[in-house]
Amino acid sequence: MKLTNVPQLKNILIVPLDWGLGHATRSIPLITNLLEKNCLVLIAGEGSVKALLQAEFPAVQFLTLKGYRIRYSKQKGWLRFKIICQIPGILFSVYREHQWLKMVVKQHTIDAVISDNRFGLYHSRIPSIYLTHQLLIKTGNRITENILRKCHQWFIKKYTQCWVPDFEGPDNIAGALSHPGNLLSNTKYIGCLSRFEKNYNGQYVYDIIILLSGPEPQRTLFEKELLFQLKEFTGKVLFIRGLPQEVKEFSSEGLNANIEIKNHLKGTRLSTAIQQSALIICRSGYTTIMDLIKLQKKAILVPTPGQTEQEYLGEYLMQKKLFLCVQQQGFLLSNALGKASGFCFSNKEYRMEEFKNTISLLIENG
């Protein structure tokens, strides 16, 4: 579908949301493909998102743009209330980033912008792409879901296209999140995105890889619980904390020698490590799920407490036999590993290159 009548695209601005690292990591295959097509890519962000993408693309120009800086609650029951209280600040951030984009488009001669779940990065004179897998925002309440969907659609309509990183039709990954029915006319399914390549056929090096990610304080709370329980585990473990900005190495004092701890691993090393592991324990963030599906790995998904999207995805994908889902509350490593050993994991392979055709159309047609 032709986006708009503009000249050949050259300068592409990529702006991921700062809500966890998943929005940044799923931008990597888009950025890589744009660079391969000789586009000049600019990336905007701050904090851990900026640190992660700078490590992956040190030669790319980065612009500073303040994130939404969502704060989470330690208690699952208070999460929704705390997010509601932050809505005025989010709306101000949306207004601020919209004004920022007008300035940046002029300063850097931007030809198109790809916004991963940031509401205010649309522009009237250049192709503006909104990337999201959550056309339906799960809350657990139909009334609030309908209200949020209408609000979300109000923003999506301002963009030239809405790219959905999932497969069209019933054989999809995100279920009702990406297939709510009654789609807007600018919606386009682009297939799943993953920065990884399946290229390791050797022996397993690790019994378990633990991939922590997501917002605080739940990341730290789960980390402490896992490290405590791993004292009784005798298998080989690679524990990746999901902290790309952290320079100081984690102290392994008091832990068994079989546990290797890293703050962060870059894409190629992480891809290899995951393929070297018999089992993955991680959050049920959508980007992580797409990566695991690309690599066809067995995993135990542990949703972030109170994050209804992750809770829905965990249950949905367990029904499809793609992954085992276990809740963080009352999590016992021994029990989870026992369930995983008896779980019938599906080994279905999905096509993961469809998005490249969409990128080509954006560049060729404008």
Ramachandran area for residue 191 (φ above 0: left; ψ -120 to 50: alpha; else beta) = left
E strand intervals along 283-337: 299-301, 324-325
Task: Say whether both 314 and 243 belong to one domain.
Answer: yes
Written as one string, the DSSP assignment of 109-140 is T--EEEEES-TT---SSS-EEEE-S-SS---S
Give the model's pLDDT for residue 1. 47
Task: Say whether both 18 and 143 belong to one domain.
Answer: yes
What is the DSSP secondary structure assignment for residue 303, as one 8-state letter? P
Q: CATH number of the domain that 153 lies in?
A: 3.40.50.2000
Is residue 70 in some structural domain?
A: yes
Is residue 4 in some structural domain?
A: no
CA distance 156 to 74: 31
Task: Say whether both 298 and 185 belong to one domain.
Answer: no
Give the model's pLDDT for residue 6. 47
Total tally of structural domains belonging to the chain: 2
By C-alpha distance, which of 358, 343, 365 is closest to 34? 358
Task: Say whether both 335 and 361 belong to one domain.
Answer: no
Is residue 361 in some structural domain?
A: yes
Task: Say whether both 16 and 163 belong to one domain.
Answer: yes
Give the model's pLDDT for residue 86. 58
Is residue 5 in some structural domain?
A: no
Is residue 197 in some structural domain?
A: no
Is residue 228 in some structural domain?
A: yes
Which residues, listed in sequence order, are joined to residue 116 by a DSSP beta bridge?
16, 131
Q: Encode pLDDT of 88-104 as tens digits.
A: 667 778 889 999 999 99
Task: Say whether both 28 and 173 belong to one domain.
Answer: yes
Written as one string, the DSSP assignment of 175-240 is GGGT--SS--TTEEE-----S------S---EEEEEE--SSTTHHHHHHHHHHHHGGG--S-EEEE
CA dist list (Å): 346 to 167, 306, 322, 365: 18, 27, 5, 39
Q: Encode pLDDT of 226-277 as tens digits.
A: 999 999 899 999 999 988 888 788 877 778 889 999 999 988 999 999 999 9
Task: Say whether both 323 and 285 belong to one domain.
Answer: yes
Is residue 87 in some structural domain?
A: yes
Task: Say whether both 55 and 188 belong to one domain.
Answer: yes
**Residue-number span of the structural domain to which 231 is assigned:** 206-341
Q: Three-class SS of residue 12?
A: strand
pTM for the full predicted model: 0.88
Q: Three-class SS of residue 314?
A: helix
Task: Say whether both 356 and 320 belong to one domain.
Answer: no
Task: Say whether both 302 and 360 belong to one domain.
Answer: no
The phi, psi pair for 216, rounded to 5°, reads: -80, 160
pLDDT, tens digit only, all 366 positions of the chain: 445 444 557 899 999 998 778 899 999 999 999 999 999 999 999 988 898 999 999 999 999 998 766 665 555 554 555 556 656 667 778 889 999 999 999 999 999 999 999 999 999 999 999 999 999 988 877 888 888 899 999 999 999 999 999 999 999 999 999 999 889 999 999 999 999 999 998 999 999 999 998 778 889 999 999 999 999 899 999 999 988 888 788 877 778 889 999 999 988 999 999 999 999 999 999 999 999 999 999 999 999 998 889 999 999 999 999 999 999 999 999 999 999 999 999 988 998 999 999 999 999 876
Task: Say whether both 125 and 44 belong to one domain.
Answer: yes
CA distance 116 to 176: 19
Task: Say whether both 49 and 90 belong to one domain.
Answer: yes
| 217 preceded by a cis bond (ω within 30 of 0) | yes
Is residue 347 in some structural domain?
A: no
